[in-house]
Amino acid sequence: MKIVMCASEVVPFAKTGGLADVAGALPLALEERGEEVIVIMPKYKSVQNSKFDIQVSKEGIPYSVLGKKIKVYFIENDAYFNRDALYGDKTGDYPDNLDRFSYFSKKALELLKTVNFKADIIHVHDWQASLVPVYLKNLFAKDPFYKDMRTLLTIHNIGYQGLFPKDEFPKLGLDWSLFSIEGLEFYDKVNILKGGMEFSDIINTVSPTYAKEIQTKEFGFGLEGVLNKRKNSVFGILNGLDYSIWNPETDKFTAKNFSAKSTRGKEQCKEDLQALCKLPLKKDVPLFGIVSRLAEQKGFDILADGIDAICNLGLQMVILGTGDLKYHQILEEMVKKYPKVISLNLKFDDALAHKIYAGSDLFLMPSRYEPCGLGQLIAFRYGAIPLVFKTGGLADTVDKKNGFIFDDYSKDELIKTIKASVAAFKVKTKWSGLVTGAMKLDFSWEESAKKYLGLYAKAKKTK
Ligand code: ADP
Average pLDDT over the chain, rounded to an integer: 97
User: DSSP code of 218?
Assistant: T
Q: What percent of the chain has pLDDT over 70?
A: 100
Which pLDDT score, from 0 to 100, does residue 463 have? 83
Give the pLDDT band (50/70/90) at residue 1.
very high
Cα 115 to ligand 1 centroid, rounded to whole Å: 33
> Could you tell me where the DSSP H helices lie in 200-242?
208-213, 224-229
Ligand 1, atom nearest to 350 Cα:
25
Phi, psi at residue 74, to the nearest 5°? Answer: -110, 125
Q: What is the Rg, in whole angstroms, of the alpha carbon atoms belonging to the chain? A: 22
Provide mean pLDDT across the span 258-277.
97
Q: Which of 238, 234, 167 is nearest to 198 (CA)?
A: 234
User: Which residue owns the Cα nearest ligand 1 atom 24?
Assistant: 348
pLDDT tens column, 43-53: 999 999 889 99
Ligand 1, atom nearest to 19 Cα:
4
Give the pLDDT band (50/70/90) at residue 258.
very high
CATH topology of domain 2-240+446-461: Rossmann fold (3.40.50)
Contact present, 355 and 273 (Cβ < 8 Å): yes
Which pLDDT score, from 0 to 100, does residue 422 have? 98
pLDDT tens column, 369-417: 999 999 999 999 999 999 999 999 999 999 999 999 999 999 999 999 9
Ligand 1, atom nearest to 347 Cα:
23
pLDDT tens column, 404-460: 999 999 999 999 999 999 999 999 999 999 999 999 999 999 999 999 999 999 999
Show the ligand 1 pocket: residues with CB < 6 angstroms: 17-18, 21, 157, 291-293, 320-322, 348-350, 353, 372-375, 378
Is there a shared CATH topology between the 2-240+446-461 domain and the 264-442 domain?
A: yes
User: Which residue owns the Cα nearest ligand 1 atom 17?
Assistant: 17
Which pLDDT score, from 0 to 100, does residue 197 have? 98
Helix (H, G, I), strand (E, B) or coil at 36: strand
Cα 20 to ligand 1 centroid, rounded to whole Å: 9
Cα 351 to ligand 1 centroid, rounded to whole Å: 12
Provide mean pLDDT across the span 72-99.
96
Ligand 1, atom nearest to 374 Cα:
6
Name the amino acid, one letter, at 301: D
Ligand 1, atom nearest to 293 Cα:
20
> Is the pLDDT assigned to residue 333 strictly greater than 90?
yes
User: Which residue owns the Cα nearest ligand 1 atom 20?
Assistant: 292
CATH topology of domain 264-442: Rossmann fold (3.40.50)
Ligand 1, atom nearest to 15 Cα:
12
User: DSSP code of 249?
Assistant: T
Cα 21 to ligand 1 centroid, rounded to whole Å: 9
Provide mean pLDDT across the span 365-370.
97
Ligand 1, atom nearest to 157 Cα:
2
Q: What percent of the chain has pLDDT over 90?
A: 98
User: β-strands 121-125, 150-155: how paired?
Assistant: parallel
| Buried/exposed code over 177-186 (b: 16+ C-beta within 10 A; e: otherwise) | ebbeeebbbb
Give the pLDDT band (50/70/90) at residue 343.
very high
**Angle (CA) 423 429 432, round 5°:** 85
Q: Where along the chain do its domains lie?
A: 2-240+446-461, 264-442
Which pLDDT score, from 0 to 100, does residue 205 have? 98
Phi, psi at residue 315, to the nearest 5°? Answer: -140, 175
Cα 18 to ligand 1 centroid, rounded to whole Å: 6
Q: What is the 3-state secondary structure (H, E, C) of 367-419?
A: CCCCCCCCHHHHHHHCCCEEEEECCHHHHHHCCCCCCEEECCCCHHHHHHHHH
d(CA 352, CA 194) in angstroms, rounded, equals 36
Phi, psi at residue 385, to the nearest 5°? Answer: -80, 125
Cα 305 to ligand 1 centroid, rounded to whole Å: 22
Which pLDDT score, from 0 to 100, does residue 50 have? 86
The residues, ordered by sequence, that sit 6+ positions from 264 with a Cβ below 8 Å of its Cβ are 256, 258
User: Which residue owns the Cα nearest ligand 1 atom 19?
Assistant: 292
Cα 301 to ligand 1 centroid, rounded to whole Å: 18
Which pLDDT score, from 0 to 100, does residue 357 have? 98
Cα 149 to ligand 1 centroid, rounded to whole Å: 32
The CA-atom distances, in angstroms, between 93 and each of 90, 97, 146, 326 are 8, 7, 33, 17
d(CA 385, CA 399) in angstroms, rounded, equals 11
Contact present, 356 and 332 (Cβ < 8 Å): no
Which pLDDT score, from 0 to 100, does residue 147 have? 97
- pTM, to two decimals: 0.92
Give the pLDDT band (50/70/90) at residue 90.
confident
If one residue of 345, 374, 391 were mutated to test the ligand 1 pocket, choosing by the most ligand atoms within 8 A of its CB, it would be 374
Provide mean pLDDT across the span 172-195.
98
